[in-house]
Amino acid sequence: MALHINSGCFTVMGHSRVHRIRAVASDGSATTLKTVDDKVKLGGSDLKVSAIGIGAWAWGDTTYWNNFQWNDRKEKAARDAFNTSIDGGLTFIDTAEVYGSGLSFGAINSETLLGRFIKERKAKDPNVEVTVATKYAALPWRLGRQSVISALKDSLDRLGMTSVDVYQLHWPGVWGNEGYIDGLGDAVEKGLVKAVGVSNYSEKRLREAYKQLKKRGIPLASNQVNYSLIYRAPEENGVKATCDELGITLIAYSPIAQGVLTGKYTPENPPTGPRGRIYTPEFLTTLKPLLNKITEIGDKYNKTATQVSLNWLVAQGNVVPIPGAKTPEQAEEFKGALGWRLTNEEVTELRSLASKIKSVIGFPVEKL
């Protein structure tokens, strides 16, 4: 019996749209399969974020994404991507102090751009909703809890804000991790942030951070890690299971493997720049069977490979993907990953095919 999916009906509950997905069988009967909320609670915090967010790593960057070029045209594209994301309900935007200028030698800091875009948007629509997450760089010369507060205040200055929704440690430090976690707690108690998280944390460090914050009555809301259909290390190293156990949301960066799961790259047309050295023609050849299956499944739902790959992550539960959007077209496509859901059988089939591919990881390398 054939099933046709209709995800067009939804009801409004508070500030969150709840999509009731209907399956229509070949005999004309219909049944409601699942309910998909486009807002999710971030860990044990009181903060709700869009079920898919946007990563702003590429905004202002010239070292990895923009081939050493940044200009007015690329800034306009980033601005349009931001506005399209907000219009589409993807209101959770993730940035970091090292994205763009300064430590990563870019053209302009991503936080500065995001702050500019928010200010421009609020001038037209004062009630616009934007949930901002940024990150602290645990550099070797930064010591103790006060360094976290100092860096946060610098980030707030660049963003043009007095507080931020989510503040995260970008990676574990060489030393001083306890002080960094204390700094996150201080930021909450000073009212500078609503929720705190970590990034690139192993299971062991995740548990330690969770316990340290819990002593102060502060939840560890999130752990941001590299996670995609072809990079499933969080499933294999205990991080995903630990997040689920402790009620910590897993934020998935590089959820479409830096564009490789979109299907736009082939062995004859690999990515340029640093990504081309990671996702080689040989690797793209091994990826073909999986991409063919992703496309086949997408055709059933009238969805793209990108949307299927993002939906696969959402279907894992307790995962918020944050694909990077450099253009409004990308942002428009991302929102099509919500409002419907792959079946358990499709999720399993894609994982089975992906398990035959040797995982590769894009920059940055995190074996922490």
Classify the phi-psi angles of 294: left when phi > 0, otherwise alpha if psi is within -120 to 50, otherwise beta. alpha
Token couple for 337? 């990953």
Give, as one character, the DSSP assignment of residue 337.
T
Integer angstrom CA distances of residue 11 from 15, 17, 267: 11, 6, 44
CB 266 within 8 A of CB 282: no
Which stretches of the chain are assigned E, i.e. beta strand?
Answer: 3-6, 10-13, 16-25, 30-37, 39-41, 48-50, 54-55, 92-94, 131-136, 164-169, 193-199, 220-226, 249-253, 319-321
Phi and psi torsions of 252, nearest 5°? -100, 110
**CA 44 to CA 20: how far, in whole Å?**
26
Query: What gap in Å lies between CA 232 and CA 295, rounded to an integer?
Result: 20
Q: Report DSSP letters for 19-52, one per residue.
A: EEEEEEETTS-EEEEEEEESEEE-TTSS-EEESS
Q: Which of 99, 136, 167, 210 is catalytic?
A: 99
Task: Give the alpha-carbon dihedral of 200, 201, 203, 205, to 10 degrees.
Answer: 170
Task: Tell me if residue 99 is catalytic.
Answer: yes
Which positions are annotated as active-site residues?
Answer: 99
